[in-house]
Amino acid sequence: MFTISAAGVSSPTFRWQWQQVGAPSVWINVLEGVNSDSDGIVRFTATGTTEASVAVFRDNHPQGALDVIQALRCIVTNSCGSLTSEAATLTVVTTGDMNCDCVVNGLDIAPFVKAILDPAGFSGCDILHGDFNADNEVDQIDVSGFVNCALTGACL
């Protein structure tokens, strides 16, 4: 979730925008609901696009992804005019993606097991992609979260 604060003599309005990776000079309005990249592929959904806080979520679509977002910004407008916030970078950690191919599937099982059995010998992605209970380690407690993620796509 991204949040901006604004105060003034009249109630401000908010318009969130996103910048697609590889298109640094193009800003696209974040739409309430489904958002697509420049090729028309559905990538993410958003809520609160005209509020002080916006939330973006990976779309439950085969090519849904948040890593297409390079940055977000907000245009705040009131009776005195408009101001555009500084761009905020979005960093995406794909929980469950243990081999860094941007997909959670059967190819992540062996690296996940390696992360549990030999954390010191784990190489490749960030080992915390397997941390489903947010305790900053990958262990047996994370197994049910990983299995649920791999089978259902519920990887938050």
Residues 79, 122: one domain? no
| pLDDT-derived band at 62, boundaries 50, 70, 90 | low
Residues 35, 111: one domain? no
In a domain, residue 10? The reply is yes
Q: Tell me what the mean pLDDT of segment 56-78 comes to.
A: 77
In a domain, residue 54? The reply is yes
> Of 89, 114, 138, which marks where a domain is finished?
89
In this predicted structure, which of 4-8, 32-36, 117-121 has the lowest mean pLDDT?
Answer: 4-8
Q: Which residue has the higher pLDDT, 90 or 135?
A: 135
Structure tokens at 2: 């991204």
Output the pLDDT for position 57. Answer: 79
HSE-CB for 59 with a 13 A CA cutoff: 20
* End-to-end Cα distance, the chain: 13
Domain extent, residue 85, equals 2-89
What is the domain count for the chain? 2
Percent of the chain with pLDDT over 70: 91
Residues 60, 134: one domain? no
Structure tokens at 140: 């047996």
In a domain, residue 18? The reply is yes
Residues 8, 72: one domain? yes
